[in-house]
Structure 1
Amino acid sequence: MSRARRIDTHQHIVPPHYAEWMHSKGIRPGGVALPLWSEPEALLFMDTHGIQTGVLSLSTPGVWFGDQAEARRWAREINEYTADVVRAHPDRFGFFATLTLPDVDSALAEAEYALDTLHADGIVLLANNDGRYLGDPAFAPLLDFLHRRQAVVFIHPGELPAEPVPGVPTFAADFLLDTTRTALSLILTDSMATYSDIKFILAHAGGFVPYIAYRIMLAMLNDKNKIQQALEVLDSDRQIPKELTVLKQFYYDTALSASPAALPSLLQVADPDHITYGSDFPFAPPPAVHIINRLYEDYPLDDALRHAIDRGNSEALFPRLEG
């Protein structure tokens, strides 16, 4: 194994029964075929790519298809299946528990069971749930629960609540917009302040968030008059306008984003202690991960920051993985 001993906060699981269910519905998440997954293949991938521990999560489309009982049943089955994988290899795997949003009551029940009984390392939430983003007031009871539990919450994109563009796979751009929309939803509803003890990890380096940071600032200033806006933007005593400090509350993973095109924007916006390594396996096949890893390893980072991204920042999020 590589000396990196990475902790991968963006690694997916595709339980076999869930795969059968998705195939029966003809679903191609992100516009691609559902990948095969097995515990041995995941371990082999990790050993080949310098990953000590993969924190597993279910990807889009999750378990919600309009049937409350069905969503509850599948969330429980997936969480128990994944917890069994972690119990078999506690140093190699962790997991984010799947919930039932937009069904908030069931999501609260499953979150409590997953954290207290299955000892999940955190929760995975889709960026939008039946077209509603995470700042939606209807989701406040769940966010309040996760805030009180100081939970780590991995936000993964899904299909936009709009028709896809023919010939353009949704993972290529729609996923990034979905993550960006939910980040804006959390910011503009003051959810980042209200639920400040939730540790939100944004997938794929936050989608478009780092690149459009100053547009986000303008959206935050939109309810101020023009003079106030100018004073905020032109305040030369601050390197980063105070509105943009909210972006430093988020964590960002590097899945499919650790390239010389994306890393400069991420490093300008993210707190260095809030960046985690991500692979996106198995949706990102090993050759793709290998290419991104090479770009990341060739990028000029100091040793302390590279260690923090590879492992240290995740050890702070998941103390049981320290060592």
Structure 2
Amino acid sequence: MNSPKRIDVHQHILPPEYGDWLYKQGVVGAGGINLPEWSVDGALDVMDTFGIARSILSVSTPGVHLGDDREARVMARVVNDYAAQVVSDYPEKFGYFATLTLPDVDGAIAEANHAFTVQNADGVVLIANSRGLYLGDQAFDPLMEELNRHHAVVFVHPGELPGGSVDGIPSFAMDFLLDTTRAAFNLVKNNVPRRYPNLKFVLAHAGGFLPFASHRMAIAMVATGARDPFEALRDFADFYYDTALSGSPAALPSLLAFANPGHVLYGSDWPFAPVAAGAYFNSLLDSNETLDERTRAGISHRNAQFLFPRFLAHPVSDAT
């Protein structure tokens, strides 16, 4: 079957200066995957191959904070200026999530304000943990307050676990899923979604283990005395989720059964997920006979259009 045109909320960008800087810092990969090549032409080619009409670009882990606040602030501006220029050059093809400087909160607030007021960013990307400090920690409340003021979309992307990985098991295979799940738990445990109601969180990779383990995690809220478990479940379900590497017939039913209607979005994870992997998961989505046309169109593009005003100006057709 021919797929409807998609809106990809999980597509990465590697500006040349950022890639060179990572190599100089000794970072040659992320999650057990070597840093891939990236170019505008390459992105447009993959979008054409995958039937993607528009993509929201973001920098992946490790982000820009490798231990030095000043250096992180400089590099955040470099990558955001680059991404904003790509969007300016191709306004009907791309949007972008601004990169911030956590755990440097002051730098993150300044960069977020610049990204929203000067560069028209579509949201921000935050790594689930910043040097061991997870989203939801009260140390990040001033940033949440600033993002709430901007009615921001916050894309939560996994990083390396604070405890390190296990030899022979690439981080992207399991640790990344746990990292996102920990961040989601901590956000809800500390009542961040309700204290900052203008925020909309998008969890990468179907939220890691969250949909599958949500009720077990809600019980843990009781054990810790943190939250009412039924409120916690409602907050978990109110997150947005992307399908990057998660559109399989094993993962997708759990996600759709759990997430609020309209909260599942398409994601490719290119170029960290190679074309073959993206094609495989696209084929699973497209051949899934349990999806009705409304659900299929929602995942493909409708849900993203409601979430991101940029795309309402040039809506994607439901036509296949």
- Bucket of the pairwise TM-score, normalised by the shorter protein: over 0.9
| CA RMSD, Structure 1 to Structure 2 (Å) | 1.3
Question: Structure 1 residue 10 and structure 2 residue 10: aligned?
Answer: yes
- Counterpart Cα distance in 1 of 2:47 and 2:89: 16
Which residue is equivalent to 1:38?
A: 39
Alignment of 1:32-71 (within 5 A): 32-71=33-72
Question: 1:248 is matched by which residue type in structure 2?
Answer: A
Structure 1 position 253 matched with structure 2 position 242: yes
AA aligned opposite 2:53: Q
Residue 116 (1) aligns with residue 85 (2): no
Is 1:296 the counterpart of 2:297? The answer is no
1:131: which partner in 2? 132
1:269 aligns to what?
258
For residue 79 of structure 1, give the secondary structure of its aligned residue in structure 2: helix
Q: CA deviation at 1:24?
A: 2.1
Amino acid at match of 1:286: V
Task: Compute the displacement of 1:29 (Å).
Answer: 0.5
Matches within 5 A, 1:1-323: 4-27=4-27, 28-223=29-224, 241-299=230-288, 300-322=290-312, 323=315
Distance 2:32 2:22 in 1: 13
Aligned partners of 1:98 and 1:173: how far apart in 2?
Answer: 24
Q: Compare CA radii of gyration and give the structure with the larger one.
A: 1
Matched residue type, 1:303: E
In the aligned structure 2, how far is the partner of 1:175 from the partner of 1:185? 16
4+ residue stretches of structure 1 with deviation over 4 A? none
Deviation string for 1:215-234 (max 9, x for gaps)?
1110122256xxxx9xx8xx
| Partner AA of 1:308 in structure 2 | G
How far apart, CA to CA, are the structure 2 residues paired with 1:192 and 1:61?
Answer: 25
Q: Deviations over 1:262-285 (max 9, x none)?
A: 011101110121110000000001
| Residue 98 of structure 1, CA deviation | 0.2
Structure 1 gaps, min length 5: 233-240
Task: Give the secondary-structure state (helix, strand or coil) at the position aligned to 2:279.
Answer: helix
Q: Which amino acid aligns with 1:281?
A: W
User: Counterpart in 2 of 1:236?
Assistant: none
TM-score (norm 2): 0.94
Task: Measure, in 1, the Cα distance between the counterparts of 2:25 and 2:224.
Answer: 44
In 2, Cα distance between the equivalents of 1:3 and 1:297? 7
SS at match of 1:211: helix
Using the size of structure 1 for normalisation, the TM-score is 0.93
> In structure 1, what residue type is equivalent to 2:4?
A
Counterpart of 2:263, as a letter, is: H
Cα distance in 2, alignment partners of residues 93 and 134 from structure 1: 27
Give distance in 2, aligned partners of 1:128 and 1:5. 33
Measured against aligned partners, the alpha-carbon deviations of 1:43-94 in whole angstroms (never above 9, x if no partner) come to 0000110100110000000000111110000000000000000000001000
Secondary structure at 1:135 match in 2: coil
Residues 98-129 of structure 1: per-residue CA shift (max 9 Å, x gap): 00000000100000000110100100000000
Are the aligned partners of 2:188 and 2:232 in contact in 1 as well (CA < 8 Å)? Answer: no
Contact 2:18 2:78 in 1 (8 A): no
**CA distance 1:293–1:3, shift in 2 (3 Å):** closer
SS of equivalent to 1:158? coil
How far residue 25 of structure 1 moved from its aligned partner, in angstroms, is: 2.6
Deviations 1:215-256 (A, max 9, x none): 1110122256xxxx9xx8xxxxxxxx5541111210000000
Using the aligned pairs only, state the percent identity: 52
Secondary structure in structure 2 of the residue aligned to 1:56: strand
Amino acid at match of 1:136: D
Aligned-partner Cα distance in 1 for 2:224–2:6: 43
Would you say the 8 A contact 2:189–2:232 is kept in 1?
no
The amino acid of 1:83's aligned partner reads: A
Cα distance in structure 1, aligned partners of 2:266 and 2:203: 12
